Structure 1
Amino acid sequence: MYAGNKAKPPSDQAEQRIEHGSLETPVQFVPGVGPHRARQLERVGVHTLEDLLYYLPRRYLDRSLIVPINGLDLSDREFTVIGKVSSFRVIGGGPASRRLELDLIDETGALRAVWFRGLHYWTKAFERGQVVAFSGKAQVFRDRLQMVHPAVDFLDESERLGLKAKTGTIISLYSSDHALRQVGLDSRGIRRIVAAATEIATGRIPEMLPAELLQAYGLLDREKTLRQVHFPESMESKELALKRLRYEELFSVQLTLALRQHQRKNRQKGIKFPHPGASTRKAVKSLPFDLTKGQLAVLTDIRQDMESDYPMNRLLQGDVGAGKTVVAMIALCMAVEGGYQGVIMAPTEVLAEQHFRTLTSFFEPLGIPTTLLYGSLPAAVKRERLRRVASGEVDIAIGTHALIQEKVEFERLGLAIIDEQHRFGVAQRLKLRQKGVSPDVLVLTATPIPRSLALTLYGDLDVSLLKERPKHRKPIQTRILGGRERQKLFDFLKTELKKKRQGFLVYPLVDTSEKLDLQAAVTSYEKLKIGELKDFSLGLIHGRMTAEEKDNIMTAFSAGEIDLLVATSVIEVGIDIPNATVMAVMSAQRFGLAQLHQLRGRVGRGNVRGVCVLVIDPPVTREAQDRLSVLANSEDGFEIAEADLQIRGGGEFFGTRQHGAPDFRIADPIAHQDLLVAARRDAQEWVAKDPSLKSFKPLRSHFERAYGPRMELMDVG
């Protein structure tokens, strides 16, 4: 549950506080620290005694994994050896040949360690007779046993003897950087001050988890946890300590989300919209197709939220092509019929323009005025549109993040729809909310989110799922071709384009500066338009173009003036071209599963079945093969998302780190999903029975101290 603290400036009472072992004691008063070292510790986020206790080891030296030098073998495994520095020297004259050679000895033999980089640092770091641990893979070079660039940990003589003599002795190893090492805080130095901090805090570390939760999961108490995680008696006790810390962190995040949700539904007063009437019914009847059962169910959720007196904060997860935009349009109709304005935000100007075209064609016949706002509009045009929004002449505004700039004012903002949630930060959504008196918020995402990420990214939002696709949409065929089969692709493209259909040809790079020898979109476009596809109209779009250039290309493509659009993954989400039937992805192994699923969803949106062709270049890893086979065998975005998460991990699921996502330091919501689910259940039950946390004061006081500054964002998700 630890979130980090910033110590108050030291006062005259600092010495007295340390005597009482206060966790808020400034770190400089921990024995062995002082002002000089404290400045470097504060640089890495360690401000207080508590921060130091939560500065966890990066790994451990376990006696069972340590071998004598003569016990090293030449397998692919990593081993740790402990010995004394016998000698070291810099060899070679030129920069390319200079290296540091160090001889390490123990009672059984000698090992040479070699460094080709960082010579300036390492020559100053070592001393003869020093006790060190080297970890790495052993090899033989010129009949001598050696390790190249081993991991290095400096030990005390007593620690070396302890590891030799005591079964189960474990040494914790800490992350350090150059500046910390300069003030004597290498792993060994950090271990010393952590030991001092542990002694100071003994008997004075408050428990913030209720006893029933500790008992339910067999968790260690907080004080024992912090001692065992730094100085474990065994690897088993270390794992028990880590389990407690993981649960503590996950419970803290879930408690934050549960409190947000409770606060929004019980304290905040929102807009109570009237039941939809004739205008909304007319809008639904104007659609050229019937709504699916899934769309009707989601609209019921939204209607009930809008009719309630608390602000809606709903996430609509829709698979590719499931019809989220139509749901958003009907929701906007409800808001306008209720006497309020609506806004829909897209992550890019290309998508904002597309939303504007789609929504305008729908709303204009209904007499509902719309406008488009984004950053690169001419100043005079922007001023006039801002005036119309502020005066209430415009009912619906469509645009990008420019909508949340301070100068944008709404007369009566009632509904905010945010498309592609993961590209907007929490603070940005707070600004949007401040444009209206607690407007309802509907978040759309076309990226199906696995359960573990949904619980952490969107745990405070009410969630609606939209899986069912409109009946007129046919399944998309997915084919996989090897790099040598490109001619098959171009022959197929020609066949489709001759039928007056359109297609995409997507590359992963914008130029050829990357290390991997992959052909970029720009180079391909130049070659194809005078070669293989010279008989067709080609367009090019990539991330380095200006917004105006992208818009001109997309407008021409939408109008059918371009047959084949050569692109980077800038067209990954939201682009809607009903006549496009082919999505060809070059070097498909470079893309993630979720990204490929999004690209595939750009075609087959009309009456003709779409085809997605994935071209892979050798060498292809087993991971890439697994990823592509999942895609070829499934069109279920939620199933694909789970597989992508398992294969690539949460940090890469969206391609970039999530704005506003919890910054987990100890727990991994994917690897520890069972703990996450338990922590969520416990947090929700606790808030349901005690939303003010009054029944367990240590939990409340710790929570206020650790998370108080963040509470402003608690109702925006």
Structure 2
Amino acid sequence: MTTGLDFHTPIQLVPGVGAPRAAMFERLGLRKAIDLLFHFPRSYQEVSECKSILELQEGLLATVVGLVVDIDSRFGFDGRSSVGVLLAVEGGGYVRCTWYNQPFRREAYALGQRLLARGVVKSTGVAYQMRHPEITPLDPEEPTPAARPRPIYPLTEGLTQRVLSNAIEAAMPLAANIEEAIPLEVRQNAAALLKTQSDALLPIQDALQQIHMPVDMLQANEARLRFIFQEFFVLQLALAKQRYVYQQQRPAPSIQASALVDARIVKRFPFVLTEDQRKVIEEVKADMKRTVPMNRLLQGDVGTGKTAVAQYAMLSAVANEYQAVLMAPTEILARQHARKLKEQLAGSRVEIALLVHSMPAPDKRELLQRIAIGTVDIVVGTQALLGDQVEFSKLGIVVIDEQHRFGVEQRAALRTSRTAPHYLVMTATPIPRTLALTLFGDLDVSTLKQRPPGQSAVQTYVLEPKTIDRWWNFVRQQVQAGRQAYVVAPRVESDEEKDIRGAIQWWEELNAGPLAGLRVELIHGRLDSEQKQSVLERFNHGSVDVLVASTVIEVGIDVPNASVMTIADADRLGLAQLHQLRGRVGRGKHPGFVGLIPTSNSSGAETPALSTAVDPQEKIQWLEQFAKIQDGFELAEIDLRRRGPGEIIGTKQTGLPEFRIADICKDEAVLVIARNLAGQLIAADPELKATEHSRLLRQVVAKHGKLMPIGDVG
């Protein structure tokens, strides 16, 4: 049946595919015969042994084989229809298979056809019935299938499990020609660490056979484990290899913070450092003292003081006569960083400059010259820092704020000098452990969880239609007491089809309604830089009472007098994003309050509930769970399981790899072991030059050649 097939045989030439179906296979990424072997099942259906009518039990899953002896259609007064197929079960007796509101079923089967039906048995008192059973057509002389797990594959429109399974079966003999890439020693070590029943993870040929044609679920799970480990292991090799190569290529400056320098820097902080901050600062000092470039991710919950750690690192560099860079994802945040640094370092000899795209050309040219000759100590900016014209005299450290908002190539652009700067990247979006290991490989990670003393939890409420008017009265009272408020909408403009109001419409309605008479202004991403900066400065100086905004304020905006926030259509945002927004209030001496308006409530009691595929009550439950949890790391883990990694971090920007079978939410133990074994292998053979590693190297380059820089935070 497989005569003439090789790895590169076009998919349409595989038996059972043909030209008409080729396009459907290609939509699944299956273009060559070899691709079929690595199109893994998403799950398995445990097929029970075929039973006779005497063995059937009410309420239990069962499998029967029989001939179609009758097909009928019925219609109820309520408009519902049903199709019934009566099977004469082999061995005697009858089972009626019934489908509701699926009229196409009548044409799908024929009298005298032999079918395998699998479903939950119901008894009508007169006969047995299966509602919406799974059906597998069988040839008249085809042996009854053995009771073994049946692979369930990802499909596309028009393609059936049977057609896809037959194509994979036709390609299975190719598995014998696939060479093993993972050395036996690695597979043995992995098996020992994973505490499997075998001495080693399955070899590739056996794993392919067992993942597609398992005799039982034990075989299927053994095969899955082999491929889950392989996906993680190859990625971790790429990350570890890239990190090793970078560290060996160029030395970093040794930057030391003496006791005198430490005392001078700490004296500049208008607060006492927390124990967490001191611990992380010691980690950063140890890194910067070495001539190997620091690659450290600093993640912290909202309000834990990451910027203080970054400031310490930058001032350490300046004290050693090196320049420092602080790169922010938005001009708003860059300007805020520059303003705060200048305030805290007022009266010092540290020269701070802001470099952003909106600068007038003459000012930018003059600043670039000063940076190049070294008269600027700390440069704060946005992606303007990545321009070809930006040259540093003596760059010692780069701090990147909200690192996942910069693409891989952007983060690497500053690394063009003969020496490599140290890198400290910060994120206020807590990254779940598995996601950090996947994105950053062997990256050093520091975590801040401790909040400064006196900082109280922000009170969070899920607003119902009957409480919204009271909430707006509360917002007005807060403003009258001297506080300021945010109103956040996920969209800039309304979406009438989805019944969502945008920030512009909220601004108009609040000005004319609940907040009339207050100084209400609007900010969103479509305004130019000068307009946004002007609004933020007025809000920061207290000239604006209420700021209606899109999620442009999510990252880092710091106005200590802001005490209350209203988030419209809150159920349309992830928990991690909601937590970031919540972190914008309660940053000063005044307690913070957040009101969450679900989509169905955002227009008040008279607005009909949004019709979506997700149960509105489930959305409310998510928001109520968020309201109770203040820990950003716990929320990040929940969000990862709920929405997936790409939604949390942004797949396109981070280069988060796609896995065929591995799941970073479910397979953390395998990921950790793969990371450790990859690190050991790269330590022993950094270039993977050994003969036994040649096939591994090919896989690393083929799968992650473009992604390898993601393991290097710069």
TM over 0.5: yes
Deviates more, 1:439-448 or 1:104-113: 104-113
Measured after TM superposition, the shift of residue 710 of structure 1 is: 3.6
* Alignment partner of 1:53 is 2:10: no
Deviations 1:576-617 (A, max 9, x none): 001111122234333322222212211122222222333445
**Whole-Å Cα distance in 2 between the matches of residues 418 and 662 of structure 1?**
22
**Contact kept in structure 2, 1:207 and 1:221, CA below 8 Å:** no
**SS in structure 1 at match of 2:460:** strand
**Whole-Å Cα distance in 1 between the matches of residues 67 and 557 of structure 2?**
62
* Alignment partner of 1:659 is 2:654: yes
Q: How does 1:522-561 map to 2 (within 5 A)?
A: 522-561=504-543
Compared CA separation, residues 174 and 82, structure 1 to 2 (3 A): farther
**Contact kept in structure 1, 2:460 and 2:596, CA below 8 Å:** yes
Measured after TM superposition, the shift of residue 39 of structure 1 is: 9.3
Deviations 1:98-137 (A, max 9, x none): xxx9998865668779789xx9xx9x99999999999999
**SS in structure 2 at match of 1:484:** helix
Which of 346, 349, 354 pairs up with 2:336?
354
1:4 corresponds in structure 2 to none
**Contact kept in structure 2, 1:340 and 1:414, CA below 8 Å:** yes
Deviates more, 1:654-663 or 1:245-254: 654-663
2:631 counterpart letter in structure 1:
D
Q: How does 1:429-508 map to 2 (within 5 A)?
A: 429-434=411-416, 437-508=419-490
Q: How does 1:591-610 map to 2 (within 5 A)?
A: 591-610=573-592
**SS in structure 2 at match of 1:229:** helix
1:359 counterpart letter in structure 2:
L
**SS in structure 2 at match of 1:447:** coil
**Whole-Å Cα distance in 2 between the matches of residues 172 and 252 of structure 1?**
25
1:212 corresponds in structure 2 to 188
**SS in structure 2 at match of 1:454:** helix
**Contact kept in structure 2, 1:153 and 1:173, CA below 8 Å:** no
Deviates more, 1:128-137 or 1:214-223: 128-137
**Whole-Å Cα distance in 2 between the matches of residues 201 and 366 of structure 1?**
69
**Contact kept in structure 1, 2:37 and 2:175, CA below 8 Å:** no
1:202 corresponds in structure 2 to 176
Measured after TM superposition, the shift of residue 414 of structure 1 is: 2.1
TM-score, with length taken from structure 1: 0.79
1:12 corresponds in structure 2 to none
**Contact kept in structure 1, 2:440 and 2:710, CA below 8 Å:** no
**SS in structure 1 at match of 2:413:** helix
**Whole-Å Cα distance in 2 between the matches of residues 448 and 104 of structure 1?**
54
**Whole-Å Cα distance in 2 between the matches of residues 520 and 702 of structure 1?**
50
Measured after TM superposition, the shift of residue 58 of structure 1 is: 4.7
* Alignment partner of 1:675 is 2:679: no
**Whole-Å Cα distance in 1 between the matches of residues 299 and 366 of structure 2?**
35
Compared CA separation, residues 296 and 383, structure 1 to 2 (3 A): same
Deviates more, 1:702-711 or 1:249-258: 702-711
Deviates more, 1:330-339 or 1:127-136: 127-136
Measured after TM superposition, the shift of residue 176 of structure 1 is: 5.4
Compared CA separation, residues 74 and 342, structure 1 to 2 (3 A): farther
2:595 corresponds in structure 1 to 613
**Whole-Å Cα distance in 2 between the matches of residues 708 and 505 of structure 1?**
42
Deviates more, 1:385-394 or 1:447-456: 385-394
**Whole-Å Cα distance in 2 between the matches of residues 129 and 404 of structure 1?**
72
Compared CA separation, residues 479 and 415, structure 1 to 2 (3 A): same
Which of 638, 643, 659 pairs up with 1:643?
638
Which of 349, 368, 371 pairs up with 1:367?
349
Deviates more, 1:692-701 or 1:466-475: 692-701
Deviates more, 1:429-438 or 1:27-36: 27-36
**SS in structure 1 at match of 2:271:** coil
1:653 counterpart letter in structure 2:
I
**SS in structure 2 at match of 1:432:** coil
Compared CA separation, residues 575 and 493, structure 1 to 2 (3 A): same
1:395 corresponds in structure 2 to 377
Compared CA separation, residues 39 and 473, structure 1 to 2 (3 A): same
**Contact kept in structure 2, 1:414 and 1:436, CA below 8 Å:** no
Which of 702, 706, 711 pairs up with 1:706?
702
Measured after TM superposition, the shift of residue 439 of structure 1 is: 1.4
Measured after TM superposition, the shift of residue 321 of structure 1 is: 0.9
**SS in structure 2 at match of 1:457:** helix
User: Matched residues, percent identical?
Assistant: 38
Compared CA separation, residues 173 and 648, structure 1 to 2 (3 A): closer
* Alignment partner of 1:166 is 2:145: yes
Deviates more, 1:309-318 or 1:211-220: 211-220
**Whole-Å Cα distance in 1 between the matches of residues 65 and 484 of structure 2?**
63
Which of 244, 250, 274 pairs up with 1:269?
250
Compared CA separation, residues 539 and 115, structure 1 to 2 (3 A): farther
Measured after TM superposition, the shift of residue 65 of structure 1 is: 11
2:75 corresponds in structure 1 to none
Cα RMSD for the two superposed structures: 4.6
1:697 corresponds in structure 2 to 693
1:13 corresponds in structure 2 to none
Measured after TM superposition, the shift of residue 508 of structure 1 is: 2.9
Larger RCO (CA within 8 A; separation ≥ 6): 2
2:604 corresponds in structure 1 to none
Which of 291, 295, 301 pairs up with 2:283?
301
Measured after TM superposition, the shift of residue 466 of structure 1 is: 1.3
Deviations 1:229-283 (A, max 9, x none): 2233334422332222112212222333333444455x24332333235566434
2:495 corresponds in structure 1 to 513
2:146 counterpart letter in structure 1:
T
**Whole-Å Cα distance in 1 between the matches of residues 62 and 397 of structure 2?**
57
* Alignment partner of 1:571 is 2:566: no
**Whole-Å Cα distance in 2 between the matches of residues 249 and 671 of structure 1?**
14
Compared CA separation, residues 227 and 387, structure 1 to 2 (3 A): same
* Alignment partner of 1:290 is 2:244: no
**Contact kept in structure 1, 2:296 and 2:423, CA below 8 Å:** yes
2:189 counterpart letter in structure 1:
L
2:77 corresponds in structure 1 to none
Compared CA separation, residues 463 and 173, structure 1 to 2 (3 A): closer
Compared CA separation, residues 45 and 628, structure 1 to 2 (3 A): closer
**SS in structure 2 at match of 1:194:** helix
Compared CA separation, residues 104 and 342, structure 1 to 2 (3 A): farther
**Whole-Å Cα distance in 1 between the matches of residues 49 and 665 of structure 2?**
28
1:389 counterpart letter in structure 2:
I
**Whole-Å Cα distance in 1 between the matches of residues 559 and 679 of structure 2?**
43
**SS in structure 1 at match of 2:654:** coil
**SS in structure 1 at match of 2:375:** coil
Compared CA separation, residues 580 and 240, structure 1 to 2 (3 A): same
Compared CA separation, residues 294 and 235, structure 1 to 2 (3 A): closer
Q: Number of matched residues?
A: 674
* Alignment partner of 1:226 is 2:208: yes
1:562 counterpart letter in structure 2:
V
Q: How does 1:143-154 map to 2 (within 5 A)?
A: none
**Whole-Å Cα distance in 2 between the matches of residues 307 and 272 of structure 1?**
8
**Contact kept in structure 2, 1:502 and 1:582, CA below 8 Å:** yes
**Whole-Å Cα distance in 1 between the matches of residues 532 and 376 of structure 2?**
26
Compared CA separation, residues 392 and 44, structure 1 to 2 (3 A): farther
**Contact kept in structure 2, 1:83 and 1:104, CA below 8 Å:** no
**Whole-Å Cα distance in 2 between the matches of residues 393 and 602 of structure 1?**
35
Measured after TM superposition, the shift of residue 562 of structure 1 is: 0.5
**SS in structure 1 at match of 2:391:** coil
**SS in structure 2 at match of 1:575:** coil
**SS in structure 2 at match of 1:356:** helix
* Alignment partner of 1:628 is 2:646: no
1:290 counterpart letter in structure 2:
V
**Whole-Å Cα distance in 2 between the matches of residues 404 and 136 of structure 1?**
61
